[in-house]
Amino acid sequence: MTNLPCKLLATLLLASVASGAVPAQTRPESAVSPEASKVLKKTGEALRGLRSYEMEMKGSTRAALGDGKYRDFAGTVHYFVRPPDRLAAHVLGDGVERHVIYDGQAIVVYAPRQKKFARIPAPGDISTFLAQMDALRGIELPIASVFAWGSATDPMRGMSSGAYAGTGSIDGRACEHYTYDKAKVSWHIWVDEKHLPCKLVMVDTQDPGLPGYSADVTIKPTQVPDEAFRFVPEAGVEEVELSEIAETDS
């Protein structure tokens, strides 16, 4: 994982991730079980099958600062999603507040504390938005793995192992726990009986500081109005290039 400045917004945007990330268990390499493979496909299909919903992710992220130092950042992200081409997110984290809006034509990144916003043309759908965000700053968007599970662009393809790990309770929800490994990255995924995610954990096991993220996920199907995907700047808010918006507000 790279240093914090090029990762912070993406990580918060994609998941509120956890400072106490679950380290990968030591175990021999094994094939992906049919059950573990199937749950990713079903979860991706369940999310893409929702016509309109809110999703909240709470947690923290551990990021490498360089010189062997790490920092844990707490945060929340509240999403409004209308597949296939509408997504809005309100990001609140340590030293960061952002509104990110995608309406199928352009991406808006708004920093209210800086009184700046950037607009980037990106006609397409949510996968276009994710790819464009990655291309603009060379940042990985962990949330992309959720939207793309089971699709042709599923980033979880090529896993070295995947297995069922038992049943657990996440915020009072009975959820099934699965573990996966790919390219020295360990994933822990919990899904409920409707195949919707309850919790996501990712750990970079090749880094001794175990940077990564963990997020509890709550999804509520609801009719999201068109206004959620529109941005009208207030007086005094300046339109700038995305590079002119600082990574943090403090």
User: Do 100 and 78 form a contact (C-beta atoms < 8 A)?
Assistant: no
Most confident segment among 73-77, 80-84, 132-136: 80-84
Please name the amino acid found at residue 50: L
Residue 126 has pLDDT above 90, yes or no: no
Residue 29's pLDDT is: 46
Q: What is the pLDDT of residues 184-212, one digit of tens each?
A: 889 899 999 999 999 999 888 887 777 78
Residue 30 has pLDDT above 90, yes or no: no
User: d(Cα 142, Cα 130) in Å, to the nearest integer?
Assistant: 10
User: d(Cα 166, Cα 178) in Å, to the nearest integer?
Assistant: 7
Most confident segment among 22-31, 135-144, 225-234, 238-247: 225-234
Q: What is the mean pLDDT of the chain?
A: 82
User: d(Cα 227, Cα 75) in Å, to the nearest integer?
Assistant: 25
Task: Collapse the DSSP code of 217 into the 3-class scheme (helix H, G, I; strand E, B; otherwise coil) and give the result.
Answer: strand
User: d(Cα 247, Cα 86) in Å, to the nearest integer?
Assistant: 24
User: Do 231 and 99 form a contact (C-beta atoms < 8 A)?
Assistant: yes
Task: Collapse the DSSP code of 243 into the 3-class scheme (helix H, G, I; strand E, B; otherwise coil) and give the result.
Answer: helix
User: Do 195 and 226 form a contact (C-beta atoms < 8 A)?
Assistant: no
Q: By mean pLDDT, which of 63-67, 119-123, 195-199 is the weakest?
A: 63-67
Percentage of residues in the chain with pLDDT exceeding 90? 46
User: Do 54 and 219 form a contact (C-beta atoms < 8 A)?
Assistant: yes
- Domain-wise residue ranges, the chain: 4-20+29-223
Pair of tokens at residue 44 = 């991706």
Enumerate the β-bridge partners of residue 194.
Answer: none
Would you tell me which CATH number, out of the four given (3.90.1310.10, 1.10.260.40, 2.50.20.10, 1.10.10.10), belongs to the domain 4-20+29-223? 2.50.20.10
Task: Collapse the DSSP code of 163 into the 3-class scheme (helix H, G, I; strand E, B; otherwise coil) and give the result.
Answer: strand
Residue 1's pLDDT is: 40
Per-residue pLDDT band at 25 (split at 50, 70, 90): very low
